[in-house]
Amino acid sequence: MTKVIISVLGKDRPGIVAAVSRVLFECDCNIENVSQTILQTEFAGIFIAAIPAGVTPEGLREGLAARLEAFKMYVQVKPLAANGSPAPPPAAEPFVITTIGPDAKGLVARITAVIAGYQVNVTNLLAVFKGGNEPGDNIMIYEVDVPTDIDQQAFRRDLQNQATALGLRLTIQHRNIFSAMNRI
């Protein structure tokens, strides 16, 4: 089976995931991964699905667009590139970086510049900005994979220096510790 990546964007309302998954079911597709969120009032969903022979990405997009027309959603479908046998990723440990502090333009850009400078991969990012200077109102949570062969002390120091320059409080914890401490 060929795999496709489906992006669905638009104003949030109940039934969007049901509509998308119904079309995929009716086309005999198998959903393999989903990431969906609501950003303010907007729905953003990404689906990876295996499609059977006879179903084309364009035909699937047309079917999804027709089903989602009442929702006024933007739909994109593209083949998922087959990379053959990908090289194994470098040895890495999962960490969670959090920043809390006043909102300002460039926060994400400046923090991720430090992260990228150490070849650390951001695997998930959640940013909630309510604006203003109330420190608890502006939170960023970066899930990252930190290569085991980098200078972790220098990485932490450079992140902390950037956070301090931005007026942010920064923490970095191994994901297992973060999960244990934040378990409900």
* Average model confidence (pLDDT) across the chain: 90
The domain that contains 56 carries what CATH number? 3.30.70.260
Q: Which of 48, 79, 110 is the last residue of a domain?
A: 79
Do 119 and 43 share a structural domain? no
Do 99 and 58 share a structural domain? no
Domain count, the chain: 2
Task: Evaluate whether 138 touches 130 at the Cβ level (below 8 Å).
Answer: yes
The rounded radius of gyration (Å) of the Cα atoms in the chain is: 20
SS3 28: coil
Do 112 and 73 share a structural domain? no
Do 72 and 131 share a structural domain? no
The larger pLDDT score, comparing residue 175 to residue 141, is at 141
Do 55 and 22 share a structural domain? yes
In the predicted structure, residue 84 carries a pLDDT above the cut 60: no
Q: 14: pLDDT confidence band, cut at 50, 70 and 90? A: very high
Cite the beta strand spans of 28-175 per DSSP E.
30-39, 42-51, 74-79, 92-100, 121-129, 138-147, 169-174
Q: Give residue 127's pLDDT.
A: 84
Task: Evaluate whether 169 touches 118 at the Cβ level (below 8 Å).
Answer: no
17: domain range? 2-79
In the predicted structure, residue 163 carries a pLDDT above the cut 80: yes
Q: Which of 42, 57, 79 is the last residue of a domain?
A: 79
In the predicted structure, residue 184 carries a pLDDT above the cut 80: no
Average pLDDT (142-167) is: 95
The larger pLDDT score, comparing residue 89 to residue 161, is at 161
Q: Is residue 105 assigned to a domain?
A: yes
Q: 90: pLDDT confidence band, cut at 50, 70 and 90? A: confident
Q: Is residue 142 assigned to a domain?
A: yes
pLDDT, one tens digit per residue, over 98-138 is: 999 988 888 899 999 999 999 999 999 988 777 666 656 78
Do 98 and 59 share a structural domain? no
The amino acid sitting at 152 is Q
Q: In what order do the strands lie in the sheet with 92-100?
A: 121-129, 138-147, 92-100, 169-174
In the predicted structure, residue 177 carries a pLDDT above the cut 80: no
Q: Give residue 104's pLDDT.
A: 81
Do 117 and 58 share a structural domain? no
Average pLDDT (166-172) is: 93
Q: Is residue 87 assigned to a domain?
A: no
Q: Which of 20, 53, 79 is the last residue of a domain?
A: 79
Task: Evaluate whether 137 touches 100 at the Cβ level (below 8 Å).
Answer: no
pLDDT, one tens digit per residue, over 39-75 is: 889 999 999 999 999 999 999 999 999 999 999 999 9
Q: Is residue 71 assigned to a domain?
A: yes
SS3 97: strand
Do 74 and 119 share a structural domain? no
Q: 83: pLDDT confidence band, cut at 50, 70 and 90? A: low
Cβ contacts of 113 within 8 Å, gap of 6 or more: 162
In the predicted structure, residue 30 carries a pLDDT above the cut 80: yes
Q: Give residue 41's pLDDT.
A: 93
